[in-house]
Structure 1
């Protein structure tokens, strides 16, 4: 009853506020359940310009995208962590893709990636172009005082200069002891082009500050069926069991804590030679159009990656058992800091005037890397050459790409990465087909080679280079509403942790087949969104994956009161039992294990009401409904998902 009254109050308030805003937001496309103020994130549909046109590009990608206003997928458009990721029970905790995705980048890598799904980086940076200042606000509140805040603002100061700012706050005390997360994420982007359009500059800056409470999982799953422990914070955990966690939205004291700070700045400058023309639109309007033929591009990049772990009141048995330490009970600390300075010079040619998606790119890059640990410092450098050919035709039916990168000298000498992509849009009936090939030969991430803590330092100088090949076929069809992706991996010298501190490589080459299929079924106002994935390992592969992962959303969708787009239904997620990776708190890494299977007692269930009124969206959700009739599901050995939780999220965008 309270939820119903809350929904009614929200509807009345939003309609009153929208009446004040009026019709300043234009209709730029369609999302789920009816008309929308912005277009889906595809960049392939046309739109009618009213008061604002806003697009963005990713660095190095010539395709324009539009902001997604859909309310269909809470994970994608609001939480921004895909549904196929598993995490250690609490929002913001270490996460990994349940659909196996090997790390396929040549060159130096520190190896700390468990918080990557939440963070900003240069690859997912958005360089905006907008005709009016645009602001987007997000706020979510949930059970156990969970909160998430999002802010986006972008505006063109002139036609030639844009700046964008983003902030994300993730705060979740959790249902179990010593489990709190408190993350702060910042990003600034900008672009500038000169009046004659020969000079272009792009800026991308991010700062990710992760604070994660480590509890090592619960001590026994027998507690779950004991009525004495219906309040999950009374269950004994392995780390931080007797310490006090003090947490609030802006100040959190975590007894056993992983801190991971990432910052990076990229500054790209381009100077073009080509041909320009003055285009006369009418008697009073004209603009200058410049088509580059040859470009010199310089990119400066600096990254700072700082990982630390601290337990001030350590549990003797846990560290002695899991890390094999002759443990004295003193404070446990670990610290790794990496700084990378990169200089890249590229030469780019555009063979066909007016098509900047058709180009040749050759260049070289020099990297300086510095590592600072508890017991030693190191310095080394890398020299790499790279090239790319890209041809995305102006009719957008063909898209071809061939890339190569080779490390000639330095710590990562011999690393390389070659890839090729061919995409063809057939027609409305057959949709788009996509072929992709990628082969990488790389030095294992440094965390597998060396790790330093206050109790021990681990070395592994026996690791050879990993070699991973990916073959992919993909098809998507907007008319028939399906997506199909088939991946086939061939993996040699796969590097993994076989326990909490020791890294090894797989003894032989192995293969992985992965098939993912998504389909939208519709019957009048009723919808079924089905996602199904199949995975199978061939050979002695030291990875564990569920054979089947699936998500289903059964919804009722309708347009009410002229401007209310409603979507309500049930969401269910399930995967078959498998030996899910364990987690090592000190190293911050997921660990291969074959002793304990993780299985679902019941599918993860959520009931939801999503709606949008013009520029306002709301997400009302009851999650983990399965805990009403079954015990909590496990994300990893002794790591549980939360109890039933209520979440209310709002998303509101403005034209300033």
Structure 2
């Protein structure tokens, strides 16, 4: 309870200080900053010179993992839906989890699931382990710091999540910073605690000819595995038990079992641009920025001179004359009017004229000079800038990933596993210490002909080659280690158009020539068309892909004390056709996707539930379904607004042709109803409730020994989850540079089937707090 009072006190202090300190800048809904004191976003620094202006401005972007192409993004500073950003189950509750903060998860919407990577063990933690393609690089006019914290519960149970981000620039081209992320979920049920630590450093350089992005991150993850509760009736029908069990008293299948993941990542992409220079008009934003920079320079220079004059007056024992200083010390273009320009004076010639000045010797010449001056004054004085136009880019991208995974157990129920393999045991007896290592090194070389350097260059063209070295190590029979090395070479090309407002497209193809993945093929395409219709902006977008891929390594090989396979698998073929229709004014989005998969490869888990609700004969196998499986996805997003009342909805319908292998809920829905208003004209409040719901289906089971979601393979003992709404009530607030919320999650908690994953109940009613604060200095 102490942390709750502290957090409430912080929110109160922040609110009070921001109301009274109106000179601080405001964070807009789109994530940009505008200033109350000037048009470009600056504030006075009272800690140094009184009149010094601190400029504010923040741009963020993401980069493509293959080419390092930049895509503009919004800063992670939006207040809308901030209260839901804390959930491992997703902003709109679209993920199944095992119940705790930072727990493994899987998306219920099949069309939004990513493809399997080579090291599958970190993929269920994509809430925490951030891929390169979604990391936001920064460029800021002054250093920025963001601190975000949310918590619930107490020292015995509950959740804490702390994030810190710092970004700074050294000049306009070089930006750098770091991110710190720490999750500690003690858990409300037994044996389910999580502890995740991330540290990331980044840097970017965006010069005219040379661009570079660097990213280094390290993650340490520890998850306690409890195997689910022993009997679902502790949640669904607690009245059948003589005692009233609290959440932390419900027995679980496993104890003293852990999954640990340690991984480090290095990403570096750079390019050299060859092109030409040309003069172009500045945009309004650039003109505003240039004027602001000039004014800031003038004011800062004046403040410096004023302080210098004050010190001199104090030294001479005189009073400082403010009016006299203002009269003599006015600043123009960053210099006082009575200051001398650095450099030599022009040299006078024999006629007395100084070199570089026009000599006027008669009335005709004077009239001519006046006419010329008037002509120059009538010329368009639009601000121009010198722009370097790249034509060709030479690109190199390096990506190195290093992984270690350990499944460790000191106490395993008798006959819990079906099989046992003779490997070099770390502790002996029933203890488990399954250790798996993997690293990969990928280099990509590309040449790009860029779009837009002249009116005929309507699209960009890239050709590339990628070399990838992969290494794996796992336990071997009778002790030792089995090692695998895979080296692949692929080539490909891309045709892309991103400029303009009406039509854009991107087509990319990659084929693998040699190595373990020889014969693989990936073809991706997407396009969007934007136009006006009845006063609204309409966007039609289409996506399609064709993949013929080798199942990733751990579907083909896996060695451990109780799970073991070496498989020969066929290549998996996937196709998707997707269309998206959106209307901006009515806030309507319609999405249609059709997937077809052959040789679908998946994990299947099987076990027996005993009379005492224990588990025996647990095993996981890799299976491949040779027939085609099709999936239809229909998704409708519709938002409404009536005065201060907002209603947001996202409804997804899915239909699988094989529910035994690829099961999804037919209906997945999210709705959010809230009032938006302001208090004292500065505190923006979203006060409302939201709900997430999905129909019953045979949800994916979870295997602690593998750390993966699996298909249920228990025949008639397979269970379904769903048909239970989860409702949260919240007040989400935004004040200047601060976001904070108070929420009661799962407010409708009662006896019911509140399971997302079979045998893993979610938390009951919990009071939550969260705070995010931005600092510019």
DSSP-derived class of the 1:117 partner: coil
DSSP-derived class of the 2:63 partner: coil
Query: Which residue in the other structure is 2:275 paired with?
Result: 274
| Deviation for aligned residue 1:585 | 0.7
Match of 2:143 among 124, 133, 137: 133
> Does the Cα contact within 8 Å between 1:125 and 1:204 map onto a contact in 2?
no
Match of 2:551 among 413, 429, 444: 444
Query: Which residue in the other structure is 2:209 paired with?
Result: 198
| Deviation for aligned residue 1:228 | 2.4
Query: Which residue in the other structure is 1:152 paired with?
Result: 165
- Give the paired residue count: 623
Query: Which residue in the other structure is 2:503 paired with?
Result: 398
Q: Please tell me whether Structure 1 or Structure 2 has the larger radius of gyration of its CA atoms.
A: 2
Matches within 5 A, 1:106-255: 108=118, 110=120, 112-143=122-153, 144-194=157-207, 197-224=208-235, 225=238, 226=241, 228-240=243-255, 255=256
Rounded Cα–Cα distance in structure 2 between residues aligned with 1:6 and 1:571: 27
Match of 2:756 among 635, 638, 641: 635
> Does the Cα contact within 8 Å between 2:111 and 2:633 map onto a contact in 1?
no
DSSP-derived class of the 1:228 partner: coil
> Does the Cα contact within 8 Å between 2:121 and 2:405 map onto a contact in 1?
no
Cα 1:343–1:259 shift into 2, 3 Å = same
Residues 506-542 of structure 1, C-alpha deviation per residue, up to 9 Å, x if partnerless? Answer: 1310110011111111222222111111000125771
Query: Which residue in the other structure is 1:66 paired with?
Result: 74
* Corresponding position: 1:23 with 2:9: no
Match of 1:494 among 569, 581, 600: 600
Match of 2:59 among 55, 60, 63: 55
Rounded Cα–Cα distance in structure 2 between residues aligned with 1:636 and 1:8: 34
Cα 1:643–1:324 shift into 2, 3 Å = farther
Residues 429-464 of structure 1, C-alpha deviation per residue, up to 9 Å, x if partnerless? Answer: 142110011111111122211111134532222x11
* Corresponding position: 1:89 with 2:85: no
Matches within 5 A, 1:368-379: 368-375=469-476, 376-379=482-485
| Deviation for aligned residue 1:348 | 0.5
Rounded Cα–Cα distance in structure 1 between residues aligned with 2:737 and 2:87: 18
| Deviation for aligned residue 1:637 | 1.5
Residues 396-441 of structure 1, C-alpha deviation per residue, up to 9 Å, x if partnerless? Answer: 2211110011111001111111011110111251421100111111
Q: Which moved more, 1:210-219 or 1:199-208?
A: 199-208
| Deviation for aligned residue 1:62 | 3.7
Q: Which moved more, 1:202-211 or 1:276-285?
A: 276-285
DSSP-derived class of the 1:318 partner: coil
Rounded Cα–Cα distance in structure 2 between residues aligned with 1:236 and 1:4: 29
Residues 572-626 of structure 1, C-alpha deviation per residue, up to 9 Å, x if partnerless? Answer: 1111111011111111111112643333464111111111111111121111222
Q: Which moved more, 1:414-423 or 1:94-103?
A: 94-103
Rounded Cα–Cα distance in structure 2 between residues aligned with 1:438 and 1:569: 40
RMSD over aligned CA atoms reads: 3.0
Residues 10-52 of structure 1, C-alpha deviation per residue, up to 9 Å, x if partnerless? Answer: 664223332576434245x436xxxx7659xxxxxxx963232
> Does the Cα contact within 8 Å between 1:291 and 1:354 map onto a contact in 2?
no
* Corresponding position: 1:99 with 2:109: yes
Rounded Cα–Cα distance in structure 1 between residues aligned with 2:541 and 2:489: 32
Matches within 5 A, 1:298-447: 298-320=396-418, 330-353=430-453, 358-375=459-476, 376-394=482-500, 396-427=501-532, 429-447=536-554
TM-score normalised by length of structure 2: 0.75
Rounded Cα–Cα distance in structure 1 between residues aligned with 2:432 and 2:108: 30
Rounded Cα–Cα distance in structure 2 between residues aligned with 1:531 and 1:414: 39
Query: Which residue in the other structure is 1:251 paired with?
Result: none
Query: Which residue in the other structure is 2:731 paired with?
Result: 609
Residues 188-242 of structure 1, C-alpha deviation per residue, up to 9 Å, x if partnerless? Answer: 2211144xx21121112222222111000011112231362431221111110xx
Residues 148-195 of structure 1, C-alpha deviation per residue, up to 9 Å, x if partnerless? Answer: 00111111111110002112111111111110011112222211144x
Rounded Cα–Cα distance in structure 1 between residues aligned with 2:227 and 2:4: 39
| Deviation for aligned residue 1:388 | 0.8
Rounded Cα–Cα distance in structure 1 between residues aligned with 2:638 and 2:450: 39
Query: Which residue in the other structure is 1:265 paired with?
Result: 266
> Does the Cα contact within 8 Å between 1:315 and 1:329 map onto a contact in 2?
no
> Does the Cα contact within 8 Å between 1:104 and 1:440 map onto a contact in 2?
no
Rounded Cα–Cα distance in structure 2 between residues aligned with 1:416 and 1:606: 45
Structure showing the higher helix proportion among its residues? 2
TM-score normalised by length of structure 1: 0.88
| Deviation for aligned residue 1:568 | 1.1
Rounded Cα–Cα distance in structure 2 between residues aligned with 1:325 and 1:598: 33
Query: Which residue in the other structure is 1:585 paired with?
Result: 704
| Deviation for aligned residue 1:82 | 3.6
> Does the Cα contact within 8 Å between 2:119 and 2:438 map onto a contact in 1?
no
Q: Which moved more, 1:630-639 or 1:68-77?
A: 68-77
Rounded Cα–Cα distance in structure 2 between residues aligned with 1:429 and 1:622: 38
Cα 1:386–1:319 shift into 2, 3 Å = same
Cα 1:357–1:459 shift into 2, 3 Å = farther
Match of 2:772 among 637, 651, 656: 651
Q: Which moved more, 1:71-80 or 1:612-621?
A: 71-80
Rounded Cα–Cα distance in structure 2 between residues aligned with 1:193 and 1:212: 40
Q: Which moved more, 1:16-25 or 1:550-559?
A: 16-25
DSSP-derived class of the 1:64 partner: strand
| Deviation for aligned residue 1:5 | 9.6
Query: Which residue in the other structure is 1:470 paired with?
Result: 576
Cα 1:418–1:626 shift into 2, 3 Å = same
5+ long unaligned stretches in structure 1: 40-46, 241-254
Rounded Cα–Cα distance in structure 1 between residues aligned with 2:491 and 2:531: 35
Rounded Cα–Cα distance in structure 2 between residues aligned with 1:21 and 1:222: 55
Q: Which moved more, 1:409-418 or 1:63-72?
A: 63-72
